[in-house]
Amino acid sequence: MTKQQLFEQIQKKRSFLCVGLDSSLDKIPKHLLKYENPILEFNKQIIDATKDLCVAYKPNTAFYECYGKKGWETLIDTWNYIPKDIFSIADAKRGDIGNTSAMYAQTFFDESSSGMSFDSVTVAPYMGIDSVKPFLTFKNKWVILLALTSNEGHADFQLQEIGGERLFEKVIKTSSAWASDEQMMYVVGATRGASFADVRKLAPNNFLLVPGVGAQGGDLKEVCKYGLNAKCGLLINSSRGIIYASNGEDFAERAREEALKLQQEMEGILTEVGLV
């Protein structure tokens, strides 16, 4: 998917919501356990209930891998079920030496090899240029590079100062030479709203994938205040706050209600800044 196509979806749906499919056997409603593949059934019902309200789905690969072969099959089937006009993100946080990153790119982008072809994959920056570049050889596919994450441990290294800038700023600055904003996004956690001003100095035009709204405590308005740009430039992820809104038979309806609340809030913001 191109940047322009993504922006058009955002305008059409009046939403920049990404639904995170962190689907776990011990958290999904018990009545689904009777299905041959409970997690796939859960994901399908969540997708059916929210697909008109969001512009992206983000399965977190850990939640599938942990069930071995069966889990990997569920990941592939989930990718297949995501409508192709919705931006798909393999939240995999991969990254290795060049020849190995090329295999990871094949994993997530080459359907003829792995059975999946996501629009994007999250990548960890620690190993530098050749760990990222192989993902960029796929046309209209995206790297979403970890910059400033929303978790407790983000301060250990990401906030450390290197010659007057923090590591996450160094990561953005350095990596912006590797790809344009037509192929590179950054992960920037919602739990530090004011940091978006710093990020936007370095990455004015890139889309930012923003986890941490909801369960992790991030504030949507604060993020938008500093993070929005002329093409919206934000994908706001909510996982647990939507998919686990209820663990009863009404889970899909309740997920839709939570997604709708966010979509309406987003529509208000997009209207206010004149993007729709």
Site for a copy of itself, rule CB under 8 A? 22, 24, 60, 62-63, 65-69, 71-73, 76, 91, 93-101, 103-104, 106-107, 110, 113-116, 124-132, 146, 149-158, 160-163, 167, 170-171, 174
Distance in Å, CB of 273 to a copy of itself, minimum? 30
Of 63 and 142, nearer to a copy of itself (C-beta) is 63
Query: Can you tell me whether residue 20 is helix, strand or coil?
Result: strand
Of 162 and 230, nearer to a copy of itself (C-beta) is 162
Chain centroid to CA 150: how far? 13
Contact of 37 with 74, CB cutoff 8 Å: yes
Q: How far apart are CA 141 and CA 132, in angstroms?
A: 12
Q: How far apart are CA 69 and CA 15, in angstroms?
A: 35
Note the maximum CA span of the chain: 57
Assigned token pair, 88: 């798909």
Assigned token pair, 266: 């987003």
Give me the catalytic one of 27, 51, 93, 221.
93
Of 35 and 157, nearer to a copy of itself (C-beta) is 157
Q: Is 93 a catalytic residue?
A: yes
Query: Can you tell me whether residue 99 is helix, strand or coil?
Result: helix
Query: Can you tell me whether residue 81 is helix, strand or coil?
Result: helix
Of 65 and 249, nearer to a copy of itself (C-beta) is 65
Q: How many residues does the chain have?
A: 276
Which active-site residues does the annotation give? 93
